[in-house]
Structure 1
Amino acid sequence: MPGTAASAHASGQGQLLGIGQVLARLQPEFPELTPSKLRFLEEQRLVSPARTAAGYRKFSEADVERITVVLSMQRDQYLPLKVIRAHLESIDAGATPALPGAASAASFLAGARRYRRDELVEAAGASRALLDEAISASLLPAAEVYGDDALGVLAALVSLREVGIEARHLRGLRAAAEREAALVERAIAPSRRSDAADKARAAERALELADQLETVRTAVVRSALARLTR
């Protein structure tokens, strides 16, 4: 894996950080990050810290940047770690793959964009009233700062409004999403323990189940729409 702590240590470039220093750096943005989660990311081959003679992990600046990218993809795009790993491995190999269902690789490596409300409205070509309607319909949270997912939702609502589909017509989507989330939560409940690594694995499994539910939902909608071509 290019840019790991091992290579940084070998080249003598940059200061190597212990787990506590990495947590101090990243927890303000990712408060759920723990030593167990860092070890889990290593186990999943997403980061490869160097080891001291005593076996302690040491992280380079490149490692910290990579961890930031992984956590941002999880938080902002809800991607499973196996998708993130395959994406980053392609980048490591010199490719520039598009991120499935999200922004480009370049945008993520440059840092995920965050939008204030006025910036979000402008970027989506929407109105402040439409954003308020989306929040009222529980399609978007009431927040001061949003990510790329929110931009995608608001831009989609702009297009849907052009054909007469308003945000209020989609209120049922939130209720359906909550029901699906409850199904997933029950499915992963037996694998959730107190250990942070177990929780991370359960969260990863939850994302995989969500992808499968999305596949079923899309197929059902397409089947329902098929009558239009009959």
Structure 2
Amino acid sequence: MAKPELSIGEVLRILRAEFSGVTISKLRFLEAEGLVSPARTASGYRKFSADDVERLRYVLTAQRDQYLPLKVIKEHLGAIDRGLRPAVAGPPVAPSAPSAGPRADDFGATGIELRLTRAELLAAAGVSAELLGELESHGLVVADGKHYGGDAIVVAQAAAELAAYGIEPRHLRPFRTAADREVGLIEQVTGPRRTEQTEQLAALTVRLHTALVRSRLPR
């Protein structure tokens, strides 16, 4: 997160280069509507970060170019806060599924943890609600409250491709069991907290699994 260090006057000068009609009153109004939340000094002065400026730029662009009402823009910002990426037009979209790896970086923290609604997951993965329901019933995709993590995209897409070969979600439960066992083994070494060592071990276990499967396939 960028350090909040810009005054409202400095933010105004930055944005006026692109939005000539913006005023301090407009910026204060957007803050009052909850579209941006600048930090406050002990004296009560607003301090904006570079991220706040980009957020304001997104709002002003959506108003000017797409004529979106503030309610819709606020929903879009909420989606961006959950890890979706802005689209040129229309609502934010989920990022592309990560590479299969395996590298230690694939198991590390990514800054903003992706949190998708059910509709966003279905759209991002390109699967049917029926398939997602089956994956959930077998514990292969699990929601955290009302949202799903980015790995759910990979699981759903892989399951859909496997289904084309006649492999149904119920056949995939051993993968979930194996994953649970591998995580249990890693936690025996590193403990429950995620560390750099955790990421390295996770990459190694996936590499080992891949090599074992490959070695057992017919030549």
* TM value normalised by structure 2: 0.49
Higher Cα Rg: structure 1 or 2? 2
Higher relative contact order, chain-length normalized (CA < 8 Å, sep 6+): 1
